[in-house]
Structure formats: structure tokens, C-alpha cells
Chains A and B, each alone.
Chain A
Amino acid sequence: MNYSLIIVEITAVLIGLGVLMTDLWISPTARKGLGYSAAVALGCLLAFATGSLAPQHGLGFRDSFVVDDLARFFKAFFLFGAIVVILMTVEFSSRIASGLSEFFALVIFALVGMLFAASANDLVLLFVSLELITVTFYILTSFQRNRLASLEAGVKYLILGAVASAFMVFGIALIFGSANSTNFRVIAAHQTELATSPVFLMGLLLVLAGLGFKIAAFPFQAWAPDVYQGSPAPATAFLAVGSKAAGFVLLIRLLTQAVPQITAEWSRLLVVMSAATIIYGSLCAIPQRNLKRLMGYSSIANAGYLLLGIVAMTRSGSTAMLFYLGGYFFTVLAAFTAMCALAEHVETDEIAGLAGLGRRSPFLAASLTLSLVSLAGIPPMVGFFGKVLLLRSVFESAPGHPDLYLLLGVAVIGVVISLYYYLGIIRSIYWGGNTPNLTPIRTSLGTKVALGTCIAGMVFLGIVPNGYLRIAETAVAGMESAVGGLKSPAVKKVSAH
């Protein structure tokens, strides 16, 4: 057993436990400080994980745990996300009645689940890491025990999450029954025979359903709006960034590494799923009046755009997806940080509550506007380049697959619709209705730093995408060389026919 492979995960567990233990000795007023300390500790871990001392490549624990460029990419991604979410929670702390330290600890435990998910090379590890994420989120979403909406969100997430887990575990059982293994490498080696086994295909479909729940793809999206609306804002942000990305890293591993041939045959299923997700998210977002609920629908639509990268089934598709996820990360975190900062000064989560923000706090107004602009995919923000890369990758795979052109049409229409509802929010910010309260809003230094970082990230990645794009490309290429899952479009077409 090569324990050095999971040193990052072990350290994260220790930090989480450390937070829980320290809470016993410090006064309640010092808990914000505990949050900052946890953020600093995770920052050190992030520096370690991205540095040269961290495990670079390897396969361990009976091939169930893999460290490659893709895993390292996502580990850095999750660590950074957790740091921002913890800083956000400190800002939000006045709204959490009790158990602030536990909130920090749970965020870190969810992070551990994501770190394991990034390295999962076996269906069992996939399931365990997903459960670790999901179970902590049951608590995080219902953390504001005195708020009915938060409890409702928690219960909904619990019930639907349990159903999805049941699907998934049943699917894994079927796969194990037909393949005699749960390991991705073994499955990949035998996929040609397995592709003819209905039991295996059924199992794969059920696992896909479970992952579809994580990323909130149609038809497993129903939980997202309610949970996004009811949960405390930092939990929502982590759900949108971390949990979704964990779902996508597992999708990449499963679909492009373990069963690429079957994925190519199922391309129509993925096309329909992607198109339906985009359409559903975009259309349902139009009538929303609650900002967080709208973000829920927007996250559904974005899951659809991200699926474009999988539909393309090429290296440039996966690269585009990683790039888009990175941009989405900064964008969503900026939006939710701004919402957290607002939560103390604006009574409602309603979009109408933003009226006058342009004058009350030009900084928060500009931050929220820029993140919405990025979500809508307008330059110079990162969302633009991400969408262009995704569309381009689908265009590359489209010749010979007419349904992909339809999907592209759907994506374009989805972008226009999404612009409509994002603009509605911008309108509220700058010239919305009557503005009874015009007292200036002061933002704390922590918020300013977190928001500044996110905006700088959005603009930087939008204007100078080269470095990050190269990292994403390396991550995909590394995964490809490890197993040889992805093929060039020309080869893929041969295998599809």
C-alpha cells in the first residue's frame, strides 16, 4: 500500500478534525478566526498539492486510486473552491445560528470526498467518495435549522439523493455481476464483450443516472432549484462548484476512460440529455423572481453546456470542458460571495431586492454584474471563451452526425435565453423599480479579497487564457496517455459505425 499517494486527502481529513477539536477549546467569538485559520491551512495544502513535492503519478490501492494530471487538476480546483467557500462562510456567519465550526469541518469533509472523487478509478471508490460528498451536503443544505426553507432543501436533497444513490449502487452491482470487476481499467479492457451484455448496459445506465443527479442534468435536475434556494449561500456555492465538478470528473473518467466505445454508441443519448438540460434550465429560469433559485436553474443550464464537451468525445472537447469548469468556478463563486455580502443588508433573496444596489455599493454591483456577464458568455469575461471552445469542439465532431448540429442550435438559443434572465438581474441592480433604501453597504476586507480574486480570475482567464488552457490540455492528454481512452474524431467515427 502506497500511502504517500493519498497524502493530500489525509492532510485534509486532519485539518477537518483539527477544526472540530480546536472548537472545543476556543471561545465562541473566536470562531471566525478559526475559519481564517482553516482557510490558511487549506491554502498551504493547495500550495503543496500543486507543487512538485506532491505525488505526481501513480496507481495504488489495487488500482482503485489513480493520481494523474487530471486528478491533480481537479484537486487544486476543489481545494481552491473550499478556501473561497470558507471565507464566504465567515462573511455569512451572522446568519448561521450555531455550529459555525462544524460548518467549516463539514465543508472540509465534503472537500475530502471531492479529492477522492478526482482520483477514483474504481466504481466502489466512486460510490464512496460521492456518498461522502452527498451525506455532508445533506447537513450543509439544512444547516440553518431555524429556517423552514433550509430544512425543506435538506429534506428534498436527502430524499432525491438517496434515490440517486440507490440507482447507482444497483447499477454498480449489475456492472460487477457482468464484468466481474468494478475497476475502470478492467472494464476498459473488456468493453467490447461487455458492450453486448444487456445487464452491463443497464448497470451503466443506472450509474449514469446517479452521476446525472450530481451534475443536475435532465431528467435528474428536479432537486436543484429548491435546494439552491433554501440552502445557506456558502453551501449553495459549494454545491454549484464542488459537487458539480466532482460529478463531471467522474463522468469524464467513466465515459471516456472506462467505456469510450459504448459512449460513442450512446452519443445520441448524451446529445438528447445535453439539449434537454440546456432547454429546461434556460426556459425555467425566465420566470424566476428569487436570485438563488434562478442560479439553480442557471446551474442546470450550465450542466447542459458542460455536457457538450462530453458529447464531442474528443480531446478538444474534454479540454474545453475543463476550461469552462475553471471559468464557471470563479464566476459562480464571485456571484455567491457577492450574495453573501448582500445577505446582511438586503432582507430578501428576491431579485427585486437588488434595486438600488448600483448606488448602494458600486463594487458589489459591478462584481455581480461581471459574474452574470461571464455566465452569459460575453467577452471579455472567461465565460465567452469557454463557450466558444465548447461550441468549436462540437463543430469539429459534427460532420457526419447531423444531430450535433441540432444540439448546436439548441445551445445558441439557450445562450440567448440565458442572456435575457441575466440582463433582468443587471437591470434590477442598476435601474430596478423603486429604491426605498439607499444606505451605502460596507464590505469587509475578506469579502473584498475573495471577490477581487474571483473577478481577477474571470478577467484574467478571459483575456489571457493560454496558460490555463495549456494546463487543461495537459490534464486531458495525461489521462489519455494513461489509458488511451480518447481517440481522434476520425478513429471514433470508424468505431461508431
Chain B
Amino acid sequence: MDSLSSVILLPLLSAFLILLVPGNYRVIVRAIAVLGSGLTAWIAASLFFRFQPGHEGFQFESILPWISVGKLSLAYHVGADGLNIGLILVTGLVGFASVLVSWNIDRNPKLFYILLLLMIGGALGAFASLDLLFFYFFNELALVPTFILIGVWGRGENKTVAAFKITLYLTLGALIALAGLLLLHVSIGAQTFDVIALKTLLSGKPLSSTLQNWIFPLLLFGFGTLVGLFPFHSWAAEGYAAAPTAAAMMHSGILKKAGLYALLRVALPFLPDGAAHWLPVLAWLCLGNLLHCGWVALRQKDLNLLIGNSSLAHMGFAFLGIASLSVIGITGTVIVMVAHALLAALCFALSGYLESQSGTVDMTRLGGLLRRMPVFGTLMVMGFMAGCGLPGFANFAGEATVLFGSWKSLPWIVVAASWSGLILGAVYMLRALRSILYGEERKELAAVIDLGWWRRLPFALLIAALLLFGVAPSLLSRRIEPVAKEIVKAATNRSTPSRVAAVVVTP
């Protein structure tokens, strides 16, 4: 078994093992979950460091024929390049952290961990797959677990509505994207969904630009909905606020990135004409994420809704990098994806712990907690500062790179983006810190307890990764750059050159 497949199989296998354990052996259930996800994280990290930067093509590749009937031949095909190796690493880390923070799940832990591990395995499978049908398959694996996790272990009054909303939105988005993928597959005349094979076929016979203009929006809005692209974002903050901590971490941190990943892997390189036609639209829509969601975050009193909206605002940077269609911008997008995965998971883990202690995430009812919970408070300050884009954390590296990359082609949007991302972000993050950690101590919060040693592990893990990539972003950028170049080269290789492309292609 090669190590990339083992990363996918380990969580799924752990879920299956848990299925066999009787429900009342809670310790064994938890032990399997922790061990399984911990080992996954370890292998994912070792894959990341064993990855040889600067090489073209895929590493750790493996192919297993799956279907060959008539004119259809599909294969399980996984491999890693600069685009997904970082995502695989953070999925392992966030998955492990989300299992760790769920230690206090009392109601039916067996089902909880099975569903959570399915989500982790599905996300890893989606990022590692080089076959589009498998990508879709793994991505959808998380759908029903999300629904049940929010419904059974969720928070708040309207968790049922939120559960329905998130599931239906994600399905609609995924189906639109599937229609796009099928149309792409059929129009190429391919017998396979393999990314590499499709690319070879396309280089011989590119699609007509009318067809591309039809397929691209299907992919853009389909996958965009999975990411929470404005105006298809209203499911996100509400869903995260209602989800149990672990599900919110996995979803906002990891699963959302699958949509961006697919746009970079398929939509841009396969449909250059479609990209030229539709990316200007994306550039304006990403402003919706940056400004509208940032503004909404500013008005929140509920910490979870604030984090959820701020996470949507951060997605605006990722879309901006894609819209810029420059090597630097796309490298920045991938760094933002990695950094934001860690950040969103960290923030939701923090708010989850806060809620478990104080019983509320309503910021008007919190205050003065730093004195009672110094360790938690420190972690929270660090996490939220990372969210403001403080240098030293990975988010700064990503967002700054995106802004540099986009300046040439989209100067006005960059101005708006930096204004909102950096100023609005700082305002709401700092206000949240002030109202939760500082101010007068509240009598009703006297019982809160700080993080114990063992409970600090998931937070430490996430912050360490944020700092590592913040101090040494070249760990990521060296891996990403060759792929980013390839994507930009393919995406600007148009049949009908135009003004925008001429501006963008500056080697």
C-alpha cells in the first residue's frame, strides 16, 4: 500500500473498526479515532516533507483500474503535486485536531466518530484524487455525515434549518459542478475522467470557445457554491454556527477548499477561453465576499457567526488570486487555502472550548476571561491576530502574495480587498478579543476552567503550523510555484487572444 492511499484509507478503516466496537465501550471508540486520525496526520506530514519541490508532474502516484466496460474506463488514480500536497497536510492536521477537541462528546460517541472519520477520509480522498469522478465521489462522502452531525450534536435553536440549508446548498452546488464535469467529459469525447488523460486529449483538440463559455460557469458557480462564493454563501455562517465544533472545523477549514481546488485543477487549465470570459465576473463577485461578508461579520454578536462570516471574507482573497490569473496570485491562493484551513479550524476550536466552559458564545454576555483563562486567552489572541493578517502567521504570507499578484491586472479590486480584508478584519477581530477577554469579569463566568495540558495539544498543533508557514512560507511556495506556472500557462493558452490576456501574461 503506497503512503498516499494509506492516508485516505486510514480514517475510513478506523471508521469501519469503530463500527465493529459495541457502542458502550466509549474509551475504545475514542482510542481508535485518536490513533487513526493521529497516524493519518503523521503520514500526511511525512508526505509533505518527503515531497520533492521543484519537480514537474505528480509524486506518490498510484493507479488502480476500477471500471472498464464498453467505452468507459475509470481508474482510482491518486497523486500529489504542489497544489494538493499542502492541503493533504492540513487535512491530516485539522482532522486530528477535530478528533481531539471532541473528547467531551457524550451522546452516542460511536456514531459521532464514524461520521467524523468519514468526513476526514472523504476530504483526503478528494484532494488526492486525480480522477474527477473519484474527486466528486470522495467530496460527496462528507455530505450526509455533515447533515447528521449538525442535526444530532449541533448547537442552537435552528440547527435543523441550518442542517437542511447547508446540505441542500452543497448538493445543488455539487450537482451543477457535476453537470459541468460530465459536459466537459462528453464534449472532449473522453472515455475517462482522469485529469492527466483529459489534459492530453484537450491539448490535441481544444474545445470550441462557445462550449467553454457554457462549461466554465457551471464549474465556477457549482464549485463556487461549495466554497461560499457571494451570492451563494448564505448557508455557510449559519451552518458553521449550528455545527458541532469538530464538524465546523472540518467544514470551514477543509471541505470548503475542495471547491477552490477543483477550480484550480480543472476549470482554469482546461477551459482557457471560458476563464477569460468569466474571470472578470469572479473578480467582482469576490468583492462581495470581501466587503459584504466582512461587513456582516462586523455586526455579529455571536462569536461563531463572526468567525463564519470572516472565513467567507477570507475566501474572497482566494477567489481574487484565481481571478488574477497570475503565477504569483495563484501561488498566493494556494497559500491562503492552506493557511485559512488552519486558521478557521483554530478559531472554531477556540469558540467551541469557550462555549463548553461559559455556555454561550454571545459576545455581549462574555468578558474579562483572560484573567481566568490565561492560556486560552493567549491562544485566542494569537489565532485572532493571525486572522487579522499579522505578519509571522501564514495568512499574512498568503494574502500579501495574492494582493501582489493581483495588483497588475485588477488594481481597484486590490485596493478594496486590502481595505476590507485588512481593516475590516482587524476591526471585528480586535473587537471580539476586547469583548471576550478584556473588560470586567462577570460573576456568572466564575466557574470557567483554563485549558488543561492535554487539551492544549490540538491548539498548539494548529498554531505551530500557522507559525511555521508564516515564518517560512517558502516551504509552501517552492512546492506550489511549478504548478501555478503550469496552470497559468494552460489557462492563458487561448484560441482567441484578447486584451486581458495580454496584460496578464508577463513572464
Q: Which residue of A lies closest to B189 (CB)?
A: A396
The tally of residues in B whose CB lies under 8 Å from a CB in A reads 38
Q: Which residue of A lies closest to B175 (CB)?
A: A412
Within B451-480, the residues touching A (CB, 8 Å) are none
Within B65-81, the residues touching A (CB, 8 Å) are 66-72
CB distance from A19 to the nearest CB of B (A): 38
With beta carbons under 8 angstroms apart, the residue of B69, B143, B179, B187 that contacts A412 is: B179
Q: What are the residues of chain B within 8 A of A391 when measuring CB–CB? A: 178-179, 182
Q: Mark A354-388, 1 if CB is under 8 A from B, else 0.
A: 00001100100000010001000011100010001
Q: What are the residues of chain A within 8 A of B296 when measuring CB–CB? A: none
Pairwise interchain contact A378-B160, C-beta atoms closer than 8 A: no
Pairwise interchain contact B167-A419, C-beta atoms closer than 8 A: yes
Q: What are the residues of chain B within 8 A of A470 when measuring CB–CB? A: 69
CB distance from A237 to the nearest CB of B (A): 23
Pairwise interchain contact B175-A378, C-beta atoms closer than 8 A: no
Determine the distance from Cα of A426 to Cα of B145 in the docked complex, in whole angstroms: 11
Within B147-183, the residues touching A (CB, 8 Å) are 147-148, 151-152, 160, 163-164, 167-168, 171-172, 175-176, 178-179, 182-183
With beta carbons under 8 angstroms apart, the residue of B72, B144, B183 that contacts A378 is: B144
Q: Mark A384-418, 1 if CB is under 8 A from B, else 0.
A: 10001001100110110000000010001001100
Q: What are the residues of chain B within 8 A of A315 when measuring CB–CB? A: 70
Interface of B is mostly: helix
Pairwise interchain contact B171-A466, C-beta atoms closer than 8 A: no
Determine the distance from Cα of A155 to Cα of B66 in the docked complex, in whole angstroms: 48
With beta carbons under 8 angstroms apart, the residue of B144, B172, B186, B187 that contacts A373 is: B144
Pairwise interchain contact B164-A420, C-beta atoms closer than 8 A: yes
Q: What are the residues of chain B within 8 A of A412 when measuring CB–CB? A: 175-176, 179
Pairwise interchain contact A469-B69, C-beta atoms closer than 8 A: yes
CB distance from A422 to the nearest CB of B (A): 10
Does A316 count as interface, using CB distance less than 8 angstroms?
A: yes
Does B487 count as interface, using CB distance less than 8 angstroms?
A: no
Does A91 count as interface, using CB distance less than 8 angstroms?
A: no
- Contacts A319-B70, A427-B151, A465-B67 given: A415-B160 contact, CB under 8 Å? no
Does A69 count as interface, using CB distance less than 8 angstroms?
A: no
CB distance from A419 to the nearest CB of B (A): 5
Does A473 count as interface, using CB distance less than 8 angstroms?
A: yes
Within B116-152, the residues touching A (CB, 8 Å) are 133, 136-138, 140-141, 143-144, 147-148, 151-152
Q: Which residue of B lies closest to A468 (CB)?
A: B69
Pairwise interchain contact B69-A423, C-beta atoms closer than 8 A: no
Q: What are the residues of chain B within 8 A of A419 when measuring CB–CB? A: 167-168, 171
- Contacts A316-B70, A392-B186, A419-B168 given: A431-B152 contact, CB under 8 Å? yes
- Contacts A362-B23, A419-B167, A473-B69 given: A426-B175 contact, CB under 8 Å? no
Pairwise interchain contact A415-B171, C-beta atoms closer than 8 A: yes
Determine the distance from Cα of A473 to Cα of B72 in the docked complex, in whole angstroms: 11
Does A176 count as interface, using CB distance less than 8 angstroms?
A: no
Q: Which residue of B lies closest to A422 (CB)?
A: B144
Does A430 count as interface, using CB distance less than 8 angstroms?
A: yes
In addition to A380-B137, A388-B133, 8 A-B residue pairs with Cβ atoms within 8 Å of each other are A358-B152, A362-B111, A373-B144, A392-B186, A419-B168, A420-B164, A427-B151, A427-B160
13 A-B contacts, Cβ less than 8 Å apart? A316-B71, A358-B108, A358-B152, A362-B23, A378-B143, A384-B140, A388-B133, A392-B182, A408-B179, A416-B168, A423-B167, A431-B152, A473-B70
